[in-house]
Structure 1
Amino acid sequence: MGTITAVRTEAEADKSQLVEMNWDPITRIVGSLGIFTKIDFGKRKVAECHSTSSIFRGYSIFMKGKDPRDAHFITSRICGICGDNHATCATYAQNMAFGVRPPAIAEWIVNLGEAAEYMFDHNIFQDNLVGVDFCEKMVKETNPGVWEKATKTAAPHAELHGFRTIGDIMTALNPFTGSFYRETLQVSRYTREMFCLMEGRHVHPSTLYPGGVGTVPTVQLFTDYIVRLMKYVEFMKKVVPLHDDLFDFFYEALPGYEEVGRRRILLGCWGSFNNPDVCDYTYQKMTDWGRGMFVTPGVVVDGKLVTTDLVDINLNIRILLGSSYYDDWQNSETFVSKDPLGNPVDQRHPWNQSTLPRPQKRDFKDKYTWVMSPRWYDARTKDYLALDTGGGPIARFWATALAGIVDIGYVKATGHSVKIYLPKTVSLPEVELEWKIPKWSNAIERDRARTYFQAYAAASALHFAEQALAELHAGRTKTWNDFKVPEEAIGCGFHEAVRGVLSHHVVIRNHKIANYHPYPPTPWNANPRDMYGTPGPYEDAVQNTPIFEENGPDKFKGIDIMRAVRSFDPCLPCGVHMYLGNGKVLETSHSPMFGYQP
């Protein structure tokens, strides 16, 4: 790590002190994520932020001409972390295009696999990657005053998680040496085993197919899963109060910390866990079976639920360019002019997108990234909304809570919260947890929601296991239905990857893929300024984030910025490299937009 020096005299005290600082790469999913900032150390605030991706993947190009039956195998390789989410979403799109409905037990098996993936991935990210930002070593280096207070602050739920003070929790989060850090590594092992029981292989499933699954359902299969699941249920009874204590402490220790990573409440959730009782994969009934999901799809704008209709969500997706390294396809071929219900389909919809890469030099005043800018068109206000996923859980909870539809015994949406019921385990009694809609969409609340969603996934899995066993005991053990690939068809799949919204759109012509566009959470979160100048969510959340770190520019680590970015759960944040060089100080005058004049 380099160092940076910024000298500021008393005579300059009334001027902004802008220092360029870059973190590149932060992550290597869908390209390498780079965060380029200008920090005003005079005002203790991030003045400007650009999010970049330096790698072009091109899946939408080489999917053309492929056999549509291979779509889930190929697109699984988009990601080495959430490849199963892609495979699942692809099979949803295939089911629609092929006109096939899997047997009920197959859907319960897929739901069990995806629930295990949420448990595994959220656990390892929250406690082995995000947790490091809140551990003793990091807090000592960036906010020694906070560390001192933590050592003297009693943990409110010590009797539940076993750590006497907040400082003890931070020490337990130290990488490789902390007791809680090591425990969570073991949890990630058996949750991965749970996934493999259902989907064969992690992270590229070997038993998922259009029309169903290849997993053989047996009592032993589900018993092996449930044994591990109950260990996880007991684990979550400790983890939720532990994280609540830690996150609440930061609000108390650093007044104003709610502004770190805060942005306007613009959340998107595409729904998760299909209900085989209502899901037939037909586009004509997608509104109904979308609302039948066990995580409700929805768009939340300024705290209000705008829609829960997957048809509405689908038709209003727009892919904008602006700051991206592509040529426009506005005058290119139209693949789909109307959806199966007769609704017009926009040229900037994924069904009609043509990927036309145009490599060029990075220029923050023009083009600077390979990520396009997905937006959701709000027909009420005529706005192209830069929705974010909040790392996945906060958007899922917010939409599900407001919709008030889900009620399956173990989880219940109330209209203002989501209640989670965890049954009695080996050493702990039954517990009722409640995620309540927060005041803000910010770094702390994104992280908090991730913890609660681990419990939600576990509780949901209890229901799915019961339903699968009921099918098994009734003798309904067929896991796959036959289909034929049509000469022409369109399909769309909607799912929640671990980090948030995931959609796959396919167009089939002459029995081959004519057009295919997957949109995972990263493009929604990491996109740049669009053609209207609207910044992407990372940019928006980091820009204007206050700096609470006690270090000056010469020893600055950017912990508040990293907490803001990591709260969105970018893949592989452990790959952070901070490049500072010798730094560069920019002296500027006032501007009403960002507080400085370039």
Structure 2
Amino acid sequence: MNERVVVDPITRIEGHLRIEAEMDGPNIAAAYSSGTMVRGIETILKGRDPRDAWAYVQRICGVCTLVHGLASVRAVEDALKVEIPPNAQLVRNLMIGAQYIHDHVMHFYHLHALDWVDVVSALSADPAATSQLAQSISSWPKSSPGYFSDVQKRIGNFVESGQLGIFANGYWGHPAYKLPPEANLMAVAHYLEALGWQREVAKLHAIFGGKNPHPNFVVGGVPSPINLNSDSAINSKKLAQVQDLIRLMQSFVAQVYVPDTIAIASFYKDWGERGEGLGNFLCYGDLPISGGSLSDTSDFLFPRGAILNRDLSNIQPVDLHADGEIQEFISHSWYRYKAGSDAGLHPYQGETRLEYDKRGGVRPPYKQLDVADGYSWLKSPRWHSHSVEVGPLARMLLLYADTSAKAHAQAKELVDSTLATLGLPVQALFSTLGRTAARTLESQIVADAMQGWYDQLIANVKAGDTKTFAEALWEPASWPKQAQGAGIMEAPRGALGHWIVIEDERIANYQAVVPSTWNAGPRDPQGVPGAYEAALAHNTQLHDPKQPIEILRTIHSFDPCIACAVHLSDPETGEAIEIKVS
């Protein structure tokens, strides 16, 4: 067997992820992705009131925060055929949009940028030259020599104290870092600025949802009554604050995030040929531009569809309810289906059954992944038997290719101008670099769309429409004895679906297929790898197996969130605890 490079845990992500790379000299010949946490939320939900599900599933993750809660209420609304008021849809759009921008900026600066930015190198930068660089790419006001000098002193204090803190344990000095010291100093300065910025933009969730993380939701609308003259409702002061927050997001994205991404990418153009992966992409579609019904997919900001084999000229239609379209496989997972390990189940029929070993404990432990058997707590979702990638790159490719999409022109202009600036072909989109750039460019699109949703909300209120909830449509007396529905959305990390089956007013089955399950899942019964595994095996060479920064670059370009896999452990023994819910 070829040597394996093991990275466990992958850091600067949400949750626990193990990557094993099988080497052929300096090249990665094959890769294996293992989610090392147990999923259990779906089992906990069985037998509960479906109107309460959002409060449970929202705790799947603390970073994804509102998206699971919103997917859950959408699933119940779909099952019970509840149409929410336009204002509720607009408020939800604004909350999702804020999540996108907050999440993408945090990912770029605090999770992914350190794969490209050498923090220690910033100590040798010339603050005056850094100021000149920053002003050449943006009009952002914090760009004076004195400002960058102060940031440099802060970094120096970290290093001199021997406590790098948030910058500890990096591969500083690795030859894969290519930025000059001045670019490194600029990026670190913006890293620190983004910490304060994210605290402010999170307030939008608190305005409409009462708190952040995990804002409140309700089946039938939003728990945000609008009354311009009431201190206990969404009044004129709070709406003005929302406008200020939208402008704050727009300015940081346009003047800091986008210019930084392009500036950094210009030194790493070779990564436009690495980490391609599958060439298959899936987008559920989301965000009604006019605040209308989710049933009208033609109104979505992000269109629904699939792209196979990098063919942008042929967008495949997607049906998220049809039995044969989406299936989850567990042939290489630590689960078992009643129908057998090679079966594929649509989420409506999905099972979350743990495999137990002879000692009665939940598997693993293991010393090394047995990739011929199960090797992950994640399942392997497939669309029409295809392994697909979901996320910002999938969305931007759909926008770029779908001429009927309402944001097509803006997406095409952003993508083409970015490629032209970098001197890269369209094929560079299918790469680690393309995946990172797509996340940045869609932030610009979402920030602009947020202003439109806000303007529509204000216009509705001025016209006398303040309704944010569909009263009495969700009372159990009106429910069918049996119902099922899908809560579909595009979360920042990609296609997210919650499928619910309701019987006698209680949850009979519940399955969440999350973006990182699509991307991080293991091989299927045919041996086809998931998106992480395929991307790592595409033109990836390691300079130093003991410092595998190349693996981190590609994995972080997906923005993993493995916390959707939940486990409980004994703090004294570290053993898994079995919880029985009666």
TM-score range (shorter-chain normalised) is: 0.7 to 0.9
How far residue 349 of structure 1 moved from its aligned partner, in angstroms, is 0.7
- Give matches, 1:217-296, under 5 Å: 217=226, 218-238=235-255, 239-251=257-269, 256-275=270-289, 278-279=292-293, 286=295, 289-296=296-303
- 1:291-370 aligned at under 5 Å gives the runs 291-301=298-308, 302-304=310-312, 305-311=314-320, 316-330=325-339, 348-359=345-356, 360-361=363-364, 362=366, 363-370=370-377
- How many angstroms does 1:315 deviate by? 5.1
Q: 1:66 maps to what in 2?
A: 48
> Do the aligned residues in 2 keep the contact of 1:322 with 1:532 (CA within 8 Å)?
no
Correspondence for 1:523: 517
Kept in 2: contact 1:262–1:442 (CA 8 A): yes
Distance 1:166-1:233 versus aligned 2 partners, 3 A rule: farther
Find the aligned partners of 1:230 and 1:34 in 2 and give their Cα distance: 39
Cα RMSD for the two superposed structures: 3.1
Residue 263 of structure 1 contacts residue 540 of structure 1 at CA under 8 Å; is this kept in 2? yes
Structure-2 separation of matches of 1:71 and 1:329: 25
How far, CA to CA, are the matches of 1:400 and 1:234 in structure 2?
Answer: 23
Question: What SS class does the counterpart of residue 458 from structure 2 fall into?
Answer: helix
SS in 2 for 1:210: coil
Number of the residue aligned with 2:174: none
Cα pair 2:10 2:552 within 8 Å, conserved: no
Please list the CA deviations of residues 184-238 of structure 1 after superposition, one character each: whole Å capped at 9, or x if unmatched: 11221111112222222222112x1110011133332221011121122122222
Of 479-488 and 184-193, the range deviating more from structure 2: 479-488
1:186 equivalent in alignment to 2:200: no
User: Could you list the runs of 5+ residues in structure 2 that have no partner in the other structure?
Assistant: 146-178, 227-234, 357-362, 416-423, 564-582
**SS of match in other structure, 2:502:** strand
The answer (yes or no) to whether the contact 1:27–1:571 under 8 Å persists in 2 is no
Aligned to 1:209: 218
Shift of 1:158: 3.1
Tell me the distance in 1 between the aligned counterparts of 2:562 and 2:383. 27
Give the Å deviation of 1:278: 4.2
Contact 2:106 2:194 survives alignment (8 Å): yes
Q: Secondary structure at the match of 2:485?
A: strand
Once structures 1 and 2 are overlaid, which stretch shifts more, 368-377 or 320-329? 320-329
Q: Which residue does the alignment assign to 1:500?
A: 494
Work out the CA distance in 2 between the residues paired with 1:517 and 1:318: 11
Q: Does 1:539 align with 2:536?
A: no
> How far 1:544 moved relative to its partner?
4.1
* Whole-Å separation in 2 of the counterparts to 1:138 and 1:204: 36
Measure the CA separation in 2 of the matches of 1:308 and 1:318.
Answer: 16
1:452 and 1:557 map into 2 onto residues whose CA distance is 30
Residues 39-94 of structure 1, C-alpha deviations (whole Å, 9 max, x = no match): 34x3x211221111222121222211111111111111111111310111111111
Q: CA contact under 8 A between 1:417 and 1:436: conserved in structure 2?
A: no
Q: Which residue of 1 aligns with 2:554?
A: 564
Residue of structure 2 equivalent to 1:371: 378
Which residue number corresponds to residue 593 of structure 1? none
Task: Answer whether contact 1:163 1:169 (CA < 8 A) is retained.
Answer: no
Structure 1 residues 540 and 24: CA distance shift in structure 2, 3 A: same
Q: Secondary structure of 1:538's match? A: helix
State the alpha-carbon separation in 1 of the partners of residues 38 and 280 from structure 2. 27
Show CA shifts across 1:512-563 (max 9, x none).
Answer: 11111011111111101111101111111112442264xx44xx31111100
2:15–2:561 Cα contact (<8 Å) kept: no
Tell me: CA distance 1:125–1:388, structure 2 relative to 1, closer, same or farther (3 Å): same
Match of 1:50 in 2: 32
Residues 402/157 of structure 1: CA separation in 2 closer, same or farther (3 Å cut)? farther
Shift in Å, 1:157: 4.9
Cα pair 2:290 2:453 within 8 Å, conserved: no
**What percentage of residue pairs aligned between the two structures are identical?**
27
- 1: CA distance between counterparts of 2:333 and 2:461? 50
TM-score, normalised by the number of residues in structure 1 = 0.75
Deviation at 1:330, TM superposition (A): 2.9
1:492 and 1:235 mapped to 2: Cα distance? 35
Give yes or no for the alignment of 1:22 onto 2:6. Answer: yes
Task: Please state which structure has a larger fraction of its residues in strand.
Answer: 1
| Residue equivalent to 2:505 | 511
- Count of aligned residue pairs for this structure pair: 488
Letter matched to residue 103 of structure 1: P
Counterpart CA distance in 2 for 1:544 and 1:436 is 18
Query: Residue 458 and residue 314 in structure 1: after superposition, are their counterparts in 2 closer, same or farther (change >3 A)?
Result: farther
Q: Which residue of 2 aligns with 1:465?
A: 454
How far is 1:127 from its partner?
1.0
- For 1:157 and 1:530, the matched residues in 2 are separated by 49
Q: Cα 1:222–1:316, aligned 2, differ >3 Å: closer, same or farther? A: same
Q: Which one-letter code corresponds to 2:354 in the other structure?
A: P
Gaps of 5+ in 1: 1-15, 145-149, 333-345, 378-383, 421-434, 574-598
> In the aligned structure 2, how far is the partner of 1:109 from the partner of 1:480?
11
The more displaced of 212-221 and 63-72 is: 212-221
Structure 2 contact 201–248 (Cα < 8 Å) conserved: no
1:322, 1:531 within 8 Å by CA — same for their partners in 2?
A: yes
> Whole-Å Cα distance in 2 between the matches of residues 439 and 20 of structure 1?
28
The residue aligned with 1:92 is 74
What SS class does the counterpart of residue 563 from structure 1 fall into? helix
Distance 1:136 1:519, change over 3 A: same
- Partner of 1:265, secondary structure, is coil
Q: Following the alignment from structure 1 to structure 2, what is the Cα–Cα distance between the partners of residues 495 and 457?
A: 15
